[in-house]
Structure 1
Amino acid sequence: MWQGIQVITNYKTTSSACDSDASLPDALNDFYAWFEAENNVVVSKTIPPPNDQVLCLSTPDMKRTLHSSNHIIKFADDTTVVGLISNDESTYREDVQGLTAWCKANNLSLNVDKTKQMAVDFRRAQSGHSPLFIDGSSVEIIKSTKFLGVHPAENFTWSLNTSSFSKSLFLYFLQRLRKAHLPPPILTMFYRGTIESVLSSCITAWFGNCLDHKTLQRVVRTAEKIIGVSLPSITDMYTTRCIRKANSVLWMTAHTPHTHSPPSCHLER
């Protein structure tokens, strides 16, 4: 499908290093580690470290040392420490230092330059937040960041998230496909795969506090005019995914909020 879109839109890709160097993929495969799914252990494919030490990572042993108010979120090679702080930051800072020590013990190093700190504080009398220190280097305090595809900010207005979503949509390609006289079912499939998937990304987390609903709905209306069919509104996307998330919380015992949301005895709820 993507090759057909490239032909229709006359899209030309720039030459990459892989085209000029055929040995680069083999070098990358030898460099990166492979994951063994059965025991969740990372085995290095490169030459083992001195003294016959094999790199083995296991996140549960790190999570057991955390305080109850702090959590670790891992996605690929990104690690995020989230803490609920009530006038005392000592437990949060202890867990950050514990994570740093755990990384050193497992032959890992944290990139302090790429590490950021963001504080969400809605108190009326706010005081300055002191930065964290990792290996003697202070962590930069920021007001917004990109986390798992969305852009949360310290005030949770989500205006930056809305503007970034509207800029990353593929309405231009949808127009080119329409000019190529593709049928509405194909255009709808392209819309759902490239535009609606971006609009609905983590929508259950940010849509409730979003103030720019009209900007996102304008994108849906433009897509409706291009395709010529009726599409679900941004509010319908939010409602559908909230119901889906609520069902997963109610019926999955392994879900974290399951114990806080017991099923209602009323069928209409």
Structure 2
Amino acid sequence: MELRVSLSSLEISEDLSWHQNTSALVRKTKQHRYFLKSLKKAHLSLGILTSFYCYIIESILTNFITVWYGGSTVCERKALQRVAKTDQRITGTQLPAIEHLHHSRCLRRAHNIIKDSPHSSYKLLNLLSSRRRYRNIRTRTSRFRDIFHLPSPY
């Protein structure tokens, strides 16, 4: 029996794997690649091609990335990176890696939580005595440390 929960475009399976989510993201980005190739054939500038990638394709790839990227497998991450590399060849410019996008989005999210004291996760982000790093949760494996928490519905 396969149980699927879908939050807008985030798919979670019964076994808590992200395979369905990443395959859906890859499929969506491949559909939008047609338009990127059409813009390339029209001999538009690199700036327009890069902007199209950032606004359309990258926004699809980074949908809820702070939630699912930490729990995805190496195979799924490579599939997503392959999409970015192919689009990089089409645009002819250096595009950010998926891992870099995940890291920057998590940092931005943590900074927003730190600024908002009534936020439900504000208490989870405690500074260490050095005042330069935040306390990390203690776990036996890195699985739970890599996963950022779900967005609050409010």
Task: Tell me the TM-score normalised to structure 1 length.
Answer: 0.46
> What does residue 232 of structure 1 align with?
96
> What does residue 197 of structure 1 align with?
59
Give the drift of 1:214.
0.7
> What does residue 47 of structure 2 align with?
185
Which segments of 5 or more consecutive residues in structure 1 lack a partner in the other structure? 1-140
Aligned AA (1:186): I
> What does residue 17 of structure 2 align with?
157
Give the drift of 1:267.
4.4
Q: Evaluate the alpha carbon distance shift between residue 238 and residue 182 of structure 1 in structure 2; reply closer, same or farther with a 3 A threshold.
A: same
Matched, 1:263 2:127: yes
Q: Evaluate the alpha carbon distance shift between residue 165 and residue 203 of structure 1 in structure 2; reply closer, same or farther with a 3 A threshold.
A: same
Aligned AA (1:218): R
Matched, 1:223 2:87: yes
Tell me which stretches of 4 or more aligned residues in structure 1 moved more than 3 Å: none
| Equivalent residues of 1:146, 1:152 under 8 A apart | yes
Whichever of the two has the greater Rg, that structure is: 1
> What does residue 243 of structure 1 align with?
107
> What does residue 175 of structure 1 align with?
37
> What does residue 206 of structure 1 align with?
68
> In the aligned structure 2, how far is the partner of 1:155 from the partner of 1:219?
25
Greater fraction helix? 2
Matches within 5 A, 1:25-40: none
Task: Tell me the TM-score normalised to structure 2 length.
Answer: 0.78
SS at match of 1:152: strand
Which segments of 5 or more consecutive residues in structure 2 lack a partner in the other structure? 134-154
